[in-house]
Amino acid sequence: MTTADELVTLVRSYNPRTNEKLLREAYGFGQQMHDGQARRSGEPYFTHPVAVSVLLAEQQMDDATLVTALLHDTIEDTKASYGEIERRFGHEIAELVDGVTKLTNLQLDSTKTQQAENFRKLFMATSRDLRVTLVKLADRLHNMRTIKSMSPEKQIQKARETMDIYAPLAGRMGMQWMREELEDLAFRVLNSEARNSIIRRFITLQRESGDVIQKITADMRIELEKAKISAEVMGRAKKPYSIWRKMQEKDQGFSRLSDIYGFRIITATEADCYRVLGAIHQRWRAVPGRFKDYISQPKSNGYRSIHTTVSGRDGKRVEVQIRTREMHEVAETGVAAHWSYRNGERVENRFAVDPVHWIASLSERLDDGHDHDEFLEAVKLEMYQDQVFCFTPKGDVIKLPRGATPIDFAYAIHTRIGSACVGARIDGMRVPLWTRLKNGQSVDIITADGQTPQATWIDIAVTGRAKTAIRRALREEDRERFIKLGAELARVAFENVGKKATDKAMRTAAKTLALDSADELLARLGSAELTGRQVVRAIYPDLAELPGEEVDETHAVIGLEGGASFTRAACCQPVPGERIVGITFRGQGVIVHAIDCENLTDYEDQPERWVDLRWQEGTHRPVNTVTLDLTISNDAGVLGRICTLIGEQSANISDLNFLDRKPDFYRLLVDVDLRDAEHLHRVMKAVEAESNVSSLMRYRNPKRATQQVAAH
């Protein structure tokens, strides 16, 4: 364990003006409070707060943050109180410790409604003082580094929580090194076999081809010397999880994956960055479509760098990142750059962007929202989605998640613009409102007085801001009508199980579903945001499935005209419960696609062929085939158990196709006949829980669309 003297020495190395007395007092107080407590590994518990403070000191953080790290578990796990912390160490540190305590108490792996509220609290705490989140991230990093002492069940829970929430949050804060390490530590728990396999292949590759990184680094230095450019060159192999993710995304094996090495070139000036780019491209052939200039168009978290991929030594593709020293500091430490010290002074980095503004903006947009699903949807869009940058006619930049439409663009400008939208022009050409925006496009929103949001916009919009505004407008406009309709739907739903939809029952259901009133519940029931089944189960969770009228599969889709026939698209395999759209084919009827199918981009310039569709309400028969992509361990009986699991969920396997057979694992495609999206979810959850399943995903193949049309 790092001693108090060693910690003070570390802090004084970058902040000679540190309050040494404060650090020593916090160290002693924390050690006293945790005296007698032990971690699961058997080590004294205080080793953990000390390790967290060292992690933050390595990021050159201020004294208040380091003291908070030393005390961050005292209120939660010892007899120390908020008042005592405040008396000894001041109001600022007491507030920081209390903020970390509240984040620690969040049950981030609980139900969807609770998770949404946890996100809301997380961002509220973060918006008050960003250092709370920095301490919590360092706390999680040390816990993940020492996770082996936990039970297997706890390891999996913490690893999933880390992969889903903390790693993306670190990335959003610009702390890429922490994101990569958190992902890799979680990957080690969740899929150790895949991780070990990648590491073994790296070792084999290095044995066969030598130290490729050292060779390419030397080649780059020679080229820079020829061009008389002073720069630092660094190379590294990418993390196992990063490689695994690329293998999954590109559907390629390790041997076919090219850019597994990354190189960084650090220059003195911005002008040198572009000179380095020229030297690299003169020496090696650039890979088309793999160039990005984040210096001229920085990311929203302040990240600046030039990215290019070239065919290097022996034809191996390598990714090269080029940036200045200031840019590199922001790229490595992200938000921590706001609090870092050097020689006793706060470091001012002109490229650092404070994510507090992003968090405050998110909080403003959702300050009056009560819909947990909407909030969670908006947060995930803000945190996890890649962005596209589009321009207003005046040249202002609007940032949106990938897949956004003109509806999202309009609401991003102003709610009033979004609500009055009747059309859009992209680069001067009139387009449908469901058109997906692309980087660099200029978007002109057409508005009209008297226009109000349409119900179909919910399926078109992507951003949480647009969806929230549309739902709010629709609820306000039709609230009374929806309440009356909801009351009738509730009466029928309750009668189906021999109960009565009394006023008290509605109030109880509303409270269970975290809604303000019975009227709010009925309005959502009437507007189809809730189903009668959900309302009944809010009060009577043990009741059996409510009976539903079986859907005639020949009329499973609503919105077709003139008795037109329909076929489910083979590329995306939509199932009831998912949002859908139809594309007409002369002599072939309508092919139904999932709204997020990438093949829809092929028809963006043919709006006359699009048909607005939805699935028929009721119980569908299990005739909708979905292909699952499975990687399983090559052990006796594993495939049989998986087939049994699928059968236990009342699903039928219609085909099996092995893609890859290795000594340690199989990869195969399984065609399963299902009723709807809920049925699919149950099947995937059951299979995913099997310990011998290393990966499971829904298989979608854009090439199937071409084959399907040709077959017709």
Q: What angle do CA 569, 570, 573 make, to 5 degrees?
A: 75
Closest CA to 376 of 471, 467, 454, 456: 467
CA distance 466 to 454: 12
Candidates 335, 340, 341; CA nearest to 355 is 335
The residue behind tokens 């380091």 is 66
User: How far apart, in whole angstroms, are the C-alpha atoms of residue 238 and residue 217?
Assistant: 15
- DSSP H or E run through 6: helix 4-12
CA-closest candidate to residue 14, choices 329, 348, 341, 332: 341
Distance of CA 417 to the CA centre of its chain: 28
CA distances 549 to 160, 366, 493, 664, Å, are 38, 38, 13, 47
Spatial neighbors of 38 by CB under 8 A, at least 6 apart, are 44, 45
For helices 131-145 and 63-71, the axis angle rounded to 10 degrees is 50
**Alpha carbon distance 306, 349 (integer Å):** 19
* Gap between the Cα atoms of 314 and 638, Å rounded: 41
- What's the CA gap between 73 and 45, in Å, rounded? 10
Neighbouring residues of 456: CB distance < 8 A, sequence distance ≥ 6: 612
Helix ranges (H only) for 265-371 are: 270-283, 325-333, 356-365
State how far the Cα of 278 lies from the Cα of 261, in Å rounded to an integer.
20
Sign of CA dihedral 423, 428, 432, 433: negative
Residue 566, beta-bridge partner list: 590
How far apart, in whole angstroms, are the C-alpha atoms of residue 615 and residue 2?
A: 62
* Cα four-point dihedral sign 92, 94, 95, 101: positive
Q: What is the DSSP letter of 314?
A: G
Contact between 183 and 143 (Cβ < 8 Å): no
Best CA proximity match to 103, nearest among 166, 190, 43: 166
Cα dihedral sign for 213, 216, 221, 222?
Answer: positive
| 376 three-class SS | helix
Angle at 703 between CA 702 and CA 706, to 5 degrees: 110
> How many CA atoms within 13 Å lie on the side-chain side of 496?
19
SS3 149: helix
Q: What share of the chain is helix, strand, coil (3-state, %, to 5)?
A: 50, 15, 30
User: Which residue bears the tokens 């702390």?
Assistant: 175
> Which residues are marked as active site?
76-77
Question: Residues 237, 238, 241, 243: what is their CA dihedral angle, to the nearest 10 degrees?
Answer: -90
